[in-house]
C-alpha cells in the first residue's frame, strides 16, 4: 500500500549483529541495519496519493494525476544489555 505521507515502496533491509556473553547471566547485543526504498509512481496509479478518480478520493488527494518519485533511507543502531536479577 502506498501512502502520501511517507511513500515507502519495496525496500531492502540489510542487517548484521553479534552477541557477547560477558559472564553467567549477562549478555551484550549489538546490531546495525540499513534500509533503502525507492518508489516511482506514475500519475493516477496510487489511490492514496495521485488518483484521478474523484469518486474514490473525496477528502484527500494531494498529488492528483502527478507522477512522483521518492527515496527513503534509514540507519538502525541497536545496543542492549540483559542481566539476570
pLDDT value for 16:
98
Cα distance between residue 33 and residue 41, in whole Å: 26
CA–CA separation, 16 and 6 (whole Å): 26
Once rounded to an integer, what is the mean pLDDT over residues 27-33? 97
Residue 82, strand partner residues: 27
Task: Give the range among 1-5, 6-10, 30-34, 79-83 with minimum mean pLDDT.
Answer: 1-5
Q: What is the pLDDT of residues 52-70, one digit of tens each?
A: 887 776 777 777 888 888 8
Contact 40, 71 (CB under 8 A): no
Tens-digit pLDDT profile for residues 4-29: 456 677 899 999 999 999 888 899 99
Amino acid at each position: 500500500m502506498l501512502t502520501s505521507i511517507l511513500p515507502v515502496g519495496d525496500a531492502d533491509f540489510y542487517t548484521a549483529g553479534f552477541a557477547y556473553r560477558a559472564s553467567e547471566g549477562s549478555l551484550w547485543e549489538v546490531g546495525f541495519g540499513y534500509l533503502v526504498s525507492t518508489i516511482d509512481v506514475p500519475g493516477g496509479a496510487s489511490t492514496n496519493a495521485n488518483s484521478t478518480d474523484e469518486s474514490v478520493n473525496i477528502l484527500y488527494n494531494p498529488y492528483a494525476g502527478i507522477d512522483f518519485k521518492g527515496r527513503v533511507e534509514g540507519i538502525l543502531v541497536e545496543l542492549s544489555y540483559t542481566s539476570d536479577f
